[in-house]
Amino acid sequence: MNEAPTDADQGTPPELRFLKILVTTLAGTMILGLITIIFLFVTRLPDASIPRPALPDGITLPEGTKAEAVTIGRGWIAVVTEADEILILDATTGELRQRVQITPQN
């Protein structure tokens, strides 16, 4: 009943050794995959940047107006003011092209 363990009993079972190899291989594969993804992000993302629209050096709004929102389109900039007005400005010069009054809906 009380037998001393032999050397054969001290070793790890073959199933456990196989599982250890699988876990080690999975960890190595995950590390290589993560390094590959980081490498691709670093090398590819700077090339994928979208060109920004050309803006004038400064935009001067008419006296007494305060901007609430700004939208940039192709060749124009729209500024919504606190006075319920939309100012359409030229994107390259910043000059006022058009004024649109916003009428409240009844």
Cα–Cα nearest to 96, from 50, 62, 68, 45: 62
pLDDT of residue 4: 60
pLDDT of the residue at 30: 98
Residue 6 in any domain: the answer is no
Residue 72 bridge partners (DSSP):
77
Instruction: Report if residue 2 sits inside a domain.
Output: no
| Residue span of the structural domain in which 21 resides | 14-48
Report whether 86 contacts 102 (CB < 8 A): yes
Measured CA angle at 54 (ends 50, 60), to 5 deg? 140
Give me the residues of the chain with pLDDT under 50, please: none
Same domain, 59 and 88: yes
Bridge partner list, 67: 81
Q: 102 - beta bridge partners?
A: none
Residue 47 is predicted with a pLDDT of 64
